[in-house]
Every structure is written in C-alpha cells, then in structure tokens.
Amino acid sequence: MNQQPGTGIGFLFLPPTTVTMAIADILRKTVAASLTSLYGQDFTGSDFQVNQTKPEFEGDYTIVLFSLVKRIKKSPDQCGNELGAYLLQQHPDLFSGFNTIKGFLNLSISNGFWLDVLTQNFADASFGRTPAGKGKVMVEYSSPNTNKPLHLGHLRNNFLGWSTAAILEADGQQVVKTCIANDRGIHICKSMIAWQLFANGATPASTGTKGDHFVGDYYVLFGTELKKQVDELVAGGMDKEEAEKQAPIMQQAQQMLVDWEAGKPEVIALWKKMNSWVYEGFETTYKRIGSDFDKTYYESETYLLGKDLVETGLAKGVFFQKEDGSVWIDLTAEGLDQKIVRRRDGTAVYITQDIGLAVRKHEEFGCDKSIYVVGNEQDYHFKVLKLICQKLHLPDADNIYHLSYGMVELPGGRMKTREGTVVDADDIIDEMVKVAREKTEELGKVKDFTPAELTELYDIIGLGALKFFLLRVDPKKKMLFNPEESIDFHGFTGPFIQYTHARIKSILRREMPGPANISTPLLPLEKDLLVAMEQYPSVIEQAAASFDPSLVANYAYSVAKTFNSFVTEHKVLAAETEEKKQLRLRLCQMTANVIASAMQLLGIRVPERM
C-alpha cells in the first residue's frame, strides 16, 4: 500500500510523528475507554496512534487501527466502523462524524468542542503555559571571555540559552540561569600587556569607548604586534612556530600569567581594573538584548575547584598518573581517548574546573538537570565531562546535557577575533536597528509616531528580527546570517509576525469582544486558525522536551500566516452577522495572545502599532 490516508501532520512546525496536543490526549483517553467497553479488554492510549487527518480526507484526527487488529480479531475496517459508531453515540459533544479508509478511522470533532476551546481561552494571556511543579533545571549560557566584546556567535548563544530557559519555565519547570565568565588565562594577559605597552594610560572614559570594546581593541593590537615580531624573527632565520613562542610580546604575556597566578599585587590590580571595564560593557549589551542571570560564576574563582576530585579519582582508580606526574583518564573503551585532568606541575586544566563547578552548582541549587549552551566545537569536551562525572559518581552526573549549536557565519566567512574581523554584537544590533528604520520608513505608516515612539519601535523590530532569524533554525544546524533577509515584513521573519500582531491590535482597538453565546458553524479558515492555536500548549511541551526554541519560532510564524489568510478572506468588524463578528473578534484576541506569548518565549517584544 503506497498511500496511508490520515497519517499526515497538517502544520509546518510539527514533526511527522504522533501528535501530543491537548485534543489528542483527550482522544487517547476517550478511544482507549471506548475500546475497553466494546471489546472487554484493557486498552491504553499507547496502544494506538493519533494523528491529524490529511487535508485531502474528511476529518480532523485519525486513529491508526493496525496495532489493534490482532487483539480484537477483526478487520481494520470492521474495527474502525464499530469504534466510530460507538464514539459518535457515546460522545456526541466531542464527535460529529467519522469515516474509515483502509485501516484509518478519521474522526470529525464537533463544532461545539472547538467553540468551547475558544470561549474558555480567548481572553487568557497565560494560555498554553503550565503551572510550576515539574522540577528544577539549570541553564548555563553566554560564557564570555573578558578580553573582548560579545560577538555574533555570542548572540546566538544568549538568545538560545535565554529562550530555552523561558520555554522550560512556561512548561512548568523552575529554572536557574547561570553564566561562567572566562576571566583568567593567557588571552586576558594579552590584552593587559598590550594596554601597558600602547595605551599611555588611556581608559574607556578618556576615549569615550565602551569598556568591552576598549579592552578588545588591545587584544587585537596584541595580535598585530605579535605578527610583526614573528615576521621579523622569521626573516632572521627562526622557525615560525619557535618565533611565535620567542616573540618578546608573547614572552611578556606568559610572564604576566605566571605573575597573576602568583598573586603579584600590581598585576592583580591591573587585571581587576580591565575586567571591570569589560563587565560594564557586557552589562550594557546584556540589558539591551534582554539577557539576565540568576548567578554568574567566574573562572578565576572556580578553576581550582576540581583538584580535590582529581585526588579522589586517583584513589578510586578512575584516573591514572603518568611518569611525569600528570594525571589522566582513559576513555578509549568509550570510543574516545585519554584526557589529561591535571598537568605534571599540579595545575588544573579547563575540564578540572568544570568537574568541580558541576559539584558546586549541585550543592548550591540542587537542579534535576544541568544544561550547557555551548557551540558544537565543544562536543568532545562535554562528552568527556559527563563521562568523568559519571565515573566519579557525582550527583546528577547522568543529567548533564550539552545543548550543542552550530556556528553563525556571515556571507564573508568565519569570524576571527585575533584578526579583528569579528562582528561585534553591539555593531550588529546597531545595523539591525538601522535596517529596521529604513524598511519601516519605506512603508510610510508611522507618520503619527513621536520620535521617542519611533526609537522604541525600531529597536523592537531590529532586535526582534535578529532574535527570530537566529532562533528559527534548529540549534544543531550552522547558519548564515544576513541582516537584510532577516527584516522582511512579508517573509519568514520576526517583523512579519510583529506586523501581524500590530494588525490584530488595530482591529481590537476599534472593538473588543463582547459577551455572547456563539453557536455559529465555523468556516474552514476560522477553524484552521482555532485548531492551530489549540496546539500551543503541546508546542511548548515539545520545545521544552527537545530544548529547541525553533519549534516555537516556526509555530508563531505558522499562526501568523494562518491569521493573515483568515483575515484576508473574512471581514471582522463588518462580519455577516453580529454573532460572526463576536466569533472573529474572539479569534483575533486569542491569536494576539498566542503570538505575544510565543514571541515572548523567544525574548521578542511585539508592538501594539507598526
């Protein structure tokens, strides 16, 4: 059989698997109870599949019967007809008809059921969200280095981390948002040395430069000077690899790292001063993009945390010591390799810190799951971290989860910080706001806005376009970012959804839904819109289970598209009857609520006017 009627999924955002929507849950329970009554056997909702009916067949939801045939000892069509007739007789408030085609029972949901969904939820701004009580989860994201400003890749990280946290919270989980600031190491010392050599006492205040950009400029300057010195040494006959080690400026940076670890007062003072400039800059950017954290950890305070656990692991035989005194773990049996956890001089490596920090996080917050939002170039690191924590039998080691995401590239290729070719987050945000202003002015619909209102509107549109473009893609996939493409009021974009919300609000400013008993039959586009919105709770549940905000982004776009099809075909305020007008006003209000809620889970504001 080449074709299986009734097993398709009708909406873009849902994968081709069993639907888990609220109505589907009702159907599972109702059908299972009916099967039990009809055939004298115990059935559960897991004994059969519930899907949306394919558009080319009559019906709303389809029961796949093949898994039932052997138990019932009847043909699929006989089973479908008996079950359909029983459901229609016993639940006329839920079902209005059925048909059986080649082992698929297609059920039509009653008009009254859909109207009840609308009546109960159209004015509920919290529709779709689950009350707290499902557990506690930690989401770590951002993880900036204090030698440079946040860049485009950090934006995807921040948006993905913040949105995942918001979705988990909407799904009923208590969320703790954390960040680890990488505030120590050779990269920090490079900025410090360059400032000492070339700044002549300049500061962010004296130069009018944002603090993180100011320090980042000296990191780039270090790279420029290092290249110059390496070229000179190579011209003198030295091997390039050796020249990079022997270059005077690199030697100075290495010495500064030694002095920092030794706690040399003047080095610590300079380190604190330059980091404070960076933190001020970070805070400005975080505030602008809407990122916040319940707790920030600092590498300078955590990098020694795992050293005691290394000793514990040695005693238990989890780790082994080589002749030079370094300590390793052998993960070849797990398909990996040997990994160092302590250098021969006794100093910690990065994963040592992560082991210790995992324990500290559990002691401080006791979360059921710990999610690390980090790019896919660290996939190996997190496999090793989880395995080490499991072998040490650390609490909740099994619940470590790496939310791995692909890199963001620009049309010109990959970004490189040391060469100064990175697109800073602040610069890309400014560019997005600029494009938003240009695109909005082209439409010519904001002449009655005050200058302050326009400034806020361009910020809402620009940031909304940026966030939506970076979140609409499956996190696992790498992506190419194009600012112009992301701001299109008619495309698969944040501004299209924002404009749809503003369009709805324009209707509702003229008239809000009034009290009314509505029993009018739903027209196809009215029903399509209502069915789409009924799915919102399960979309949140799916996105939370898979840590994937793209499901919410795609859903918001699907609802906006469905609404625009509906409102193009049907008048709202000048509807055929008063009852139809009230129905459509309720559809408008529920759509506005669902769009605003879904976009909020992406960290995107929706304007009242555009």
Q: Are residues 92 and 190 in the same domain?
A: no
Among 266, 292, 318, give the residue marking a domain's end. 292
Sorting pLDDT into bands at 50, 70 and 90, what band is 14?
very low
Both structure tokens of 434: 């600029």
Sorting pLDDT into bands at 50, 70 and 90, what band is 560?
very high
Please indicate, yes or no, if residue 146 is contained in any of the structural domains.
no
Question: At residue 5, does pLDDT exceed 70?
Answer: no
DSSP 403: E
Name the residue with tokens 């430069």. Answer: 209
Tens digits of residue pLDDT in 478-497: 998 888 788 888 889 999 99
Q: Are residues 495 and 579 in the same domain?
A: yes
Q: Tell me the H-state helices in 18-130.
A: 22-39, 66-72, 76-90, 111-121
Contacts of 252 (CB under 8 A, 6+ apart): 193
CATH number of residue 563's parent domain: 1.10.730.10
Question: At residue 12, does pLDDT exceed 60?
Answer: no
How far is 409 from 479, CA to CA, in rounded Å? Answer: 6
Sorting pLDDT into bands at 50, 70 and 90, what band is 414?
very low
Domain range spanning residue 97?
Answer: 22-109
How far is 543 from 164, CA to CA, in rounded Å? Answer: 8
Share of residues in the chain with pLDDT > 70 (%): 95
What is the spatial order of strands in the sheet that 400-405 belongs to?
295-298, 174-181, 136-140, 369-375, 400-405
Q: Residues 186-191: what's their mean pLDDT?
A: 95
Whether the Cβ atoms of residue 343 and residue 349 lie closer than 8 Å to each other: yes
Tens digits of residue pLDDT in 104-139: 999 999 999 999 999 999 999 999 999 988 999 999
Both structure tokens of 493: 């974009």
Considering just the CA atoms, what is the radius of gyration of the chain in Å? Answer: 29
Q: Are residues 219 and 93 in the same domain?
A: no
Beta bridge partners of 51: 62
What is the model's pLDDT at position 8? 31
Tens digits of residue pLDDT in 50-64: 999 998 999 999 999
Q: Are residues 447 and 574 in the same domain?
A: yes
Among 292, 323, 355, give the residue marking a domain's end. 292
Question: At residue 461, does pLDDT exceed 50?
Answer: yes
pTM for this one?
A: 0.91
What is the model's pLDDT at position 156? 96
Tens digits of residue pLDDT in 348-384: 888 999 999 999 999 999 999 999 999 999 999 999 9
Among 292, 310, 337, give the residue marking a domain's end. 292
Sorting pLDDT into bands at 50, 70 and 90, what band is 420?
very low
Contacts of 273 (CB under 8 A, 6+ apart): none
CA-to-CA dists, residue 121 to 94, 429, 530, 601, angstroms: 18, 36, 11, 19
Nearest CA to 299 out of 379, 358, 354 is that of: 354
Sorting pLDDT into bands at 50, 70 and 90, what band is 193?
very high
Domains identified in the chain, total number: 3
Q: Are residues 202 and 102 in the same domain?
A: no
265: left (phi over 0), alpha (psi -120 to 50) or beta: alpha
Please indicate, yes or no, if residue 380 is contained in any of the structural domains.
no
Q: Are residues 576 and 436 in the same domain?
A: yes
Question: At residue 25, does pLDDT exceed 60?
Answer: yes
